Amino acid sequence: MIDVEKGTQALARPDALPIEIRMLGLRAYREVLEAMRSYTANRNDAAPDQIWLLEHPAVFTLGQAGKLEHLLDRGTTIPVEHVERGGQITFHGPGQIVAYTLIDLKRRGIKVREFVMRLEAALIDTLAAYNVKGQRRAGAPGIYVNIAGDIVKIAALGLKVKNGCTFHGVALNVAMDLSPFLLINPCGYAGLQTIDMATLGIHPSVAEVARVLADALVARIESRDLP
């Protein structure tokens, strides 16, 4: 789930600014989308990198090259937003923590694929804090857990990179209504199952997980080691 504009490349800069964390609570998807677009379009070399952590009311989002055929119930009352990130369709709703990563990759000297790995590593670190073993899946960005031999998705990842700066980000299912995922082929995969932390018997608050995820993201993005 990555969309990269031509001309993007990593250029090492030792003076990368600290990452600012913004906890935004429950926010309408369109409001935050427009704010991300504006921040990315208007930022300059002095603009700080930011991570926005929040929840959304129920919404489906369809990536730039996404196919509407992956929305299985065209009569759903849940709104569908067409966005510029890479990838297919996914669902956001209350009880899912979303982290939007507004990061200048050029300034930090991080390549796009490496950045994706850093985001996935942060999700794995967050789940590990609750004794859950998250894992990657080849060719399918996001994080998965193995439930009695079934590979089930617990976190999604989708990015847009413009002029070397990222927006959109990751979403981790904490304690949410998972039924809307049955109305789609999540991320374009028919039959892909989804799960949340609550279903695994883990019951932290969304706010607590947001703080853990924020710390993990900052640590992984700022690390000099490869993920």
| Complete DSSP assignment for the chain | -EEE-TT----B-TTPPPPEEEEEEE--HHHHHHHHHHHHHH--TTPPPEEEEEE-SSEEEE-TT--GGGBS-TT-SS-EEE-SSSSSEEEE-TTEEEEEEE-BHHHHT--HHHHHHHHHHHHHHHHHTTT---B--TTS-SEEEEETTEEEEEEEEEEEEETTEEEEEEEEESS---GGGGGB-GGG-TT--B--TTTTT----HHHHHHHHHHHHHHHHH-SS--
Active-site pick, 187, 210, 213, 216 = 187
165 is catalytic: no
Which residues are the active-site residues?
187
